[in-house]
Amino acid sequence: METVYGKNGIDLAQESGGNLAKISAAVAASGANTAPASATSVGGVYLAVPPTLTTGQFYSLLLDIAGNLKITQATMQAGENLTDNVQMVMPKAVSSSTGGWSNYNSGSALMGTAGVSVKASGGRLARATASNTSTTVACFLVAVDKATAAVNGDQVVAHEAVPALTAAGVKNSGTIDFGAIGGKVFTNGIALALSSTPHVVTLILANVGTIMAEYV
């Protein structure tokens, strides 16, 4: 049956025999009503590559591969990644046993002469804290976007000063904090180190500190 635009809108349809038939019976009042015996079908199309339209062009409704209607507001709020049609999801910080942040702890052995790899693949860093046991050597806690341990010459993504332990009660720690909601994305991996310089890794010459981190 082929739909024909009548005088008062879409109210006629052409049967296979060529006759025009009224389809007013297919129009139901709004609200919860008994389904009509027949209805006008609204179709959509699946395209692996969506079209690029220009002003004034008409196109069918788009479906995904499962037949679901594709809907997007085409805004940064509705689709953070519009190229891949992916909405942004902000994770909630919960215990690692339920799929939230994992914990890294360098342990009781002091570090400084070598960096560490916290995660060898892409992830997010919520925060990292370093404590300094030296009374003379101040340094920086640095974060690097790479899949292996930080080494001399690596470019630093973030840094925080870690003062020396000069007296009891004086702060001797530093924290890089990206927030418990979302954290910062590291594309290649998460590496940390104690460095004598803030913007490029320069590993210190003594093992004086410990590092803890929360990441996914």
Q: What pLDDT, in 10s, does the model give residues 131-155?
A: 999 999 999 999 999 999 999 999 9
Is 216 in a helix, a strand, or coil?
Answer: coil
54 lies in some domain: no
What letter represents residue 98's amino acid? T
* Minimum mean pLDDT range among 73-82, 93-102, 174-183, 184-193: 73-82
Instruction: Tell me which of 39 and 20 has the higher pLDDT.
Output: 39
114 lies in some domain: yes
Question: Has residue 97 got a pLDDT over 50?
Answer: no
* Minimum mean pLDDT range among 20-24, 43-47, 110-114: 20-24
At residue 13, the pLDDT reads 55
49 lies in some domain: no
**By C-alpha distance, which of 97, 99, 80 is closest to 89?**
80
At residue 93, the pLDDT reads 47
* Minimum mean pLDDT range among 9-23, 52-66, 110-124, 170-184: 9-23
CB 201 within 8 A of CB 151: yes
**By C-alpha distance, which of 160, 154, 101 is closest to 132?**
160
Domain tally, the chain = 1
19 lies in some domain: no
Average pLDDT, the chain: 80
Distance CA 108, CA 117 (A): 17
141 lies in some domain: yes
151 lies in some domain: yes
pLDDT band at 10 (very low <50, low <70, confident <90, very high): very low
Report the predicted TM-score, pTM, of the whole model to 2 decimal places. 0.56
At residue 60, the pLDDT reads 86
Q: Which domain holds residue 206?
A: 96-215
- Write down the residue that tokens 């196109």 correspond to: 59
For the chain, state the CA radius of gyration: 30
Question: In Å, how far are 77, 116, 130, 161 from 149, measured between CA atoms?
Answer: 36, 4, 16, 20
Q: Determine how β-strand 44-46 pairs with β-strand 61-63.
A: parallel
35 lies in some domain: no
Question: In Å, how far are 7, 21, 24, 41, 141 from 11, measured between CA atoms?
Answer: 8, 9, 6, 13, 72
What are the CB-based long-range contacts (under 8 Å, 24+) for 63-69?
Answer: 69/44
CB 53 within 8 A of CB 61: no
Instruction: Tell me which of 215 and 64 has the higher pLDDT.
Output: 215
Mean pLDDT of 40-49: 82
174 lies in some domain: yes
Please, where are the H alpha helices in 59-183?
Answer: none
